[in-house]
Amino acid sequence: MALVGLSDSRILSGSVKFYIGAFRGTPALVQLFFIYYGFGQFSFIRHSMLWPVLRDPFMCAVLALGMNSGAYTARILMGALSAVPKGIVEAAQALGLSNTSILVKIKAPIAIRISIPAYANETILNLKATSLASTVTIMELTGTSKLLVSETYAPYEIFVGAGLVYLAMTYILAHFFKYLESFVGRKTGKLETSVRPKRKNSATALKAKDSGETQAASH
């Protein structure tokens, strides 16, 4: 989707940017309610093959949160691809690599490394947004906590416990992405150094060749 958003086609890139703008500009809760309650208002949807999916609260929550996260992720990747240093791309072109090879072997790995911190934040935010699923009768962590509170009348203990579970999950995710960023950084660092010296050596050799030809002409 990020590649389509950066394409030269105004229709394709405009469609992706509209999708990104729509889902980034509206609350995730509104999106969830629209999918779960809104689609059921149309009779042609209730009689279509989509209805078994759209009447299931779990699938509606997955669809809403997935599309919301997809919009943010696409924007993150678009920014990361645009941030790849042009000098590295030019060096790869000077080495004779095709556009596909440059994208797969150079731009994509570097863009992934650039996008990891922002994507880590998006993943953590999406994890916490799963608590919205309790509003459509899904008994996830927050929904289960509410049910336990209604049965035990111990809100502080239960919600503190739920908060600690969320904190533990976000802590694990944060450290995982920190390790992933370090690992990918080492790999892409080797990639960048493998491209840049070749370009430098080629330029040095060309300069030496020109210098030799100049000296020969002077003699």
Q: Is the separation of the CB atoms in 155 and 149 below 8 Å?
A: yes
Helix, strand, or coil here: 20?
Answer: helix
Q: Is the separation of the CB atoms in 65 and 129 below 8 Å?
A: yes
pLDDT at site 187: 78
pLDDT digits (tens, 9 = 90+) for 90-137: 888 998 889 999 999 889 999 999 999 999 999 999 999 999 999 998
Q: How far is CA 31 from the centre of its chain?
A: 19
Q: Is the separation of the CB atoms in 191 and 109 below 8 Å?
A: yes
Specify the DSSP class assigned to residue 55: T
pLDDT digits (tens, 9 = 90+) for 30-50: 999 999 999 989 999 999 999
pLDDT digits (tens, 9 = 90+) for 70-103: 999 999 999 999 999 998 888 889 988 899 999 9
Using the predicted structure, report yes or no on whether residue 219 has a pLDDT greater than 80.
Answer: no
pLDDT at site 95: 86
pLDDT at site 197: 47
What are the extents of the domains in the chain? 1-82, 85-199
Averaged over 125-152, what is the pLDDT? 94
- Total-model pTM: 0.82
More confident residue, 44 or 194: 44
Specify the DSSP class assigned to residue 140: S
Identify the CA nearest to 102 among candidates 3, 213, 210, 203: 3
Instruction: For residues 53 and 69, give the distance between their C-alpha atoms in angstroms, rounded to a whole number.
Output: 19
pLDDT at site 206: 41
pLDDT at site 185: 87
How many CB atoms are located within 10 Å of the residue 152 CB? Answer: 10
> Right CATH number for 85-199 from 1.10.287.110, 1.10.3720.10, 1.20.1440.130, 3.40.50.620?
1.10.3720.10
Residue 189: pLDDT band by 50, 70, 90 thresholds?
A: confident
Beta-carbon contacts of residue 112 (< 8 Å; ≥ 6 apart): 80, 184, 188
Residue 191: pLDDT band by 50, 70, 90 thresholds?
A: low
pLDDT at site 192: 65
pLDDT at site 217: 47
Using the predicted structure, report yes or no on whether residue 210 has a pLDDT greater than 60.
Answer: no
pLDDT at site 186: 85
Beta-carbon contacts of residue 64 (< 8 Å; ≥ 6 apart): 28, 31, 32, 34, 35, 36
Using the predicted structure, report yes or no on whether residue 202 has a pLDDT greater than 50.
Answer: no
pLDDT digits (tens, 9 = 90+) for 8-23: 899 999 999 999 999 9
**Environment class of residue 168 by beta-carbon count within 10 Å: exposed (0-12), middle (13-18) or buried (19+)?**
exposed
Averaged over 171-194, what is the pLDDT? 86
